């Protein structure tokens, strides 16, 4: 790979890879915005919907080792373009699903292509970051978050105007198709180390395992906030129903904003220091919500958690992608495998602890993960 490209070419690569992050973000948000309509269309109960939705993480988990192998063997560029064509296409099939069986099958594929796209675009982002010689990974993830907001906003508008999910999904598919066609020529053709033969399953070394555990803690906090922040405000803080989402809005806004400033902070203060601060913000934010369960303090606490988790996954991916012992695709797949378990584990762990103690106690336990992150961060060798 020639590192001597001009700044203008580097910017083209950055814009192109950012475009693929946008495609992935708006695709997922588009599906999420129409889940209630799909539920109504197929007359699913709450329990039935929960069972159906499990197909998505099942597909994602199955694809984790496969994604790393495919990217290492065939290159992230080829896999990114392929996944970015099929991932949004699944939206149309989701909108057309007429039975629960069809919906489950398509959701499984939706999860599979989602993860292949995720690993491939992060592998590309690692290569672009190498060209720049400084941290830019968080800005890519910030664009994913921005695309998520855009997808949710578009979904709200179309839902309020009675646009059917199939038409909505078709519009987004067409837009993403144009973006893929526009940006694919500016993706990086050859990964660091090139394509190579690789085993399907690779045991992560100690360094990758530590990175995965740091991301696990961050993703566990993310999962807890996504599923339980509203419940906490409703049951513990006892806010009116109209205010139950205010904490989650503060959290997501802070997470998106944090990703756009994290790279500059990392360049100035160092990535490990920012990750340490991230752990402190997660612990401090949840401690504030637990110790002072009032609407203002809890909202501020959730906002701090959002800032804390904002840079964890981007920076851990950035460090993992520079592994000396594994290809970028395999390293990212290994870290993703460990961290995604945290995202899945967070919500049920909250529920189990809440049942045994109370909801405040469960949030306190999740808050301690920030301290675990700091301890692990001090053990990684970087910079």
Alpha carbon distance 137, 266 (integer Å): 10
The DSSP annotation for 136-200 comes to -HHHHHHHHHHHHHHHHHHHHHHHHTT--HHHHHHHHHHHHHHHHHHHGGGS-SS-TT-S----S
Q: What is the pLDDT of residue 120?
A: 93
Neighbours of 348 (CB within 10 A): 12
Q: What is the pLDDT of residue 199?
A: 56
For residues 202 and 68, the answer to whether their CB atoms sit within 8 Å is yes
Q: Phi/psi at 45 (nearest 5 deg)?
A: -75, 170
Q: What is the pLDDT of residue 203?
A: 67
Q: What is the pLDDT of residue 8?
A: 66
Q: What is the pLDDT of residue 246?
A: 85
CB-count burial class (<10 Å; 0-12, 13-18, 19+) for 318: buried
First-to-last alpha carbon distance for the chain, in angstroms, is 23
Q: What is the pLDDT of residue 327?
A: 81
Q: Phi/psi at 171 (nearest 5 deg)?
A: -65, -45
CB neighbour list of residue 45: distance below 8 Å, 6 or more residues apart: none
Alpha carbon distance 98, 95 (integer Å): 8
Tokens representing residue 193 in the block: 């180390």
For residues 139 and 260, the answer to whether their CB atoms sit within 8 Å is yes
pLDDT tens-digit profile, the chain (383 residues): 444 444 568 889 999 999 999 999 999 889 888 888 888 899 988 778 878 888 888 888 888 778 888 888 888 999 999 999 999 999 999 999 999 999 999 999 999 999 999 999 999 998 898 888 888 999 999 998 889 888 888 888 888 889 999 999 999 999 999 999 999 999 988 765 444 555 555 666 788 899 999 999 999 898 888 778 888 888 899 988 778 778 888 888 898 899 999 999 999 999 999 999 999 999 999 999 999 999 999 999 999 999 999 999 999 999 998 888 788 888 888 898 888 888 777 777 888 888 888 889 999 999 999 999 999 999 887 55
CA distance to 39, 199, 203, 239, per residue, from 196 (Å): 44, 10, 17, 56
DSSP, collapsed to helix, strand or coil, labels residue 31 as helix
Tokens representing residue 152 in the block: 């949710």
Helix (H) or strand (E) holding 243: none
- Among candidates 159, 140, 376, which has minimal Cα distance to 272? 376
DSSP, collapsed to helix, strand or coil, labels residue 75 as coil
- Among candidates 312, 337, 332, which has minimal Cα distance to 321? 332
Q: Which 8-state DSSP code applies to residue 234? A: I
What residue spans of the chain are helical by DSSP H? 7-33, 35-41, 46-53, 55-74, 76-96, 100-132, 137-160, 165-183, 206-232, 246-269, 271-291, 295-310, 312-320, 328-356, 359-377
CB neighbour list of residue 354: distance below 8 Å, 6 or more residues apart: 361, 362
- pTM metric for this prediction: 0.83
Q: What is the pLDDT of residue 113?
A: 95
- Going from the N-terminus, what domains does the chain have, and what CATH number goes with each? 7-186 (1.20.1250.20), 206-377 (1.20.1250.20)
């Amino acid at each position: 790979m020639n590192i001597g490209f001009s700044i203008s070419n580097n910017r083209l690569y950055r814009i192109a890879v950012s475009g693929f992050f946008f495609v992935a973000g708006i695709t997922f948000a588009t599906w999420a915005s129409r889940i209630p309509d799909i539920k109504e269309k197929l007359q699913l109960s709450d329990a039935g919907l929960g069972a159906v939705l499990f197909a998505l993480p099942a597909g994602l988990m199955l694809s984790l080792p496969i994604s790393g192998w495919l990217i290492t063997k065939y290159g992230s560029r080829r896999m990114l373009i392929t996944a970015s064509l099929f991932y949004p296409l699944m939206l149309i099939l989701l909108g057309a699903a007429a039975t629960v069986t069809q919906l489950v099958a398509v959701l499984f594929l939706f999860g599979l292509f989602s993860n292949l796209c995720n690993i491939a675009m992060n592998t590309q982002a690692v290569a672009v970051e190498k060209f720049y010689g400084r941290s830019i990974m968080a800005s890519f993830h910030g664009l994913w978050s921005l695309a998520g907001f855009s997808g949710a906003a578009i979904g709200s508008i179309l839902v309020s105007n009675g646009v059917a999910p199939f038409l909505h999904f078709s519009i987004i598919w067409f837009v993403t198709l144009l973006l893929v066609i526009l940006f694919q020529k500016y993706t990086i053709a050859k990964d660091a180390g090139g394509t190579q033969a690789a085993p399907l399953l690779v045991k992560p070394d100690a360094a990758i395992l530590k990175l995965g555990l740091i991301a696990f803690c961050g993703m566990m906090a993310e999962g807890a906030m996504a599923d339980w922040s509203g419940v906490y405000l409703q049951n513990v803080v006892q806010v009116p129903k109209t205010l139950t989402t205010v904490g989650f809005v503060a959290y997501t806004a802070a997470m998106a904003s944090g990703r756009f400033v994290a790279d500059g902070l990392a360049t100035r203060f160092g990535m490990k220091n920012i990750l340490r601060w991230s752990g402190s913000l997660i612990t401090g934010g949840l401690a504030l919500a637990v110790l002072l369960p009032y609407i203002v303090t809890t909202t501020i606490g959730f906002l701090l958690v959002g800032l804390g988790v904002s840079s964890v996954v981007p920076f851990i991916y950035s460090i993992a992608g520079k592994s000396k012992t594994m290809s970028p695709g395999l390293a990212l797949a290994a870290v993703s495998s460990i961290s995604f378990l945290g995202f899945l584990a967070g919500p049920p762990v909250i529920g189990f602890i809440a049942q045994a103690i109370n909801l405040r106690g469960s949030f306190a336990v999740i808050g301690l993960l920030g301290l675990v992150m700091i301890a692990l961060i001090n053990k990684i060798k970087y910079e």
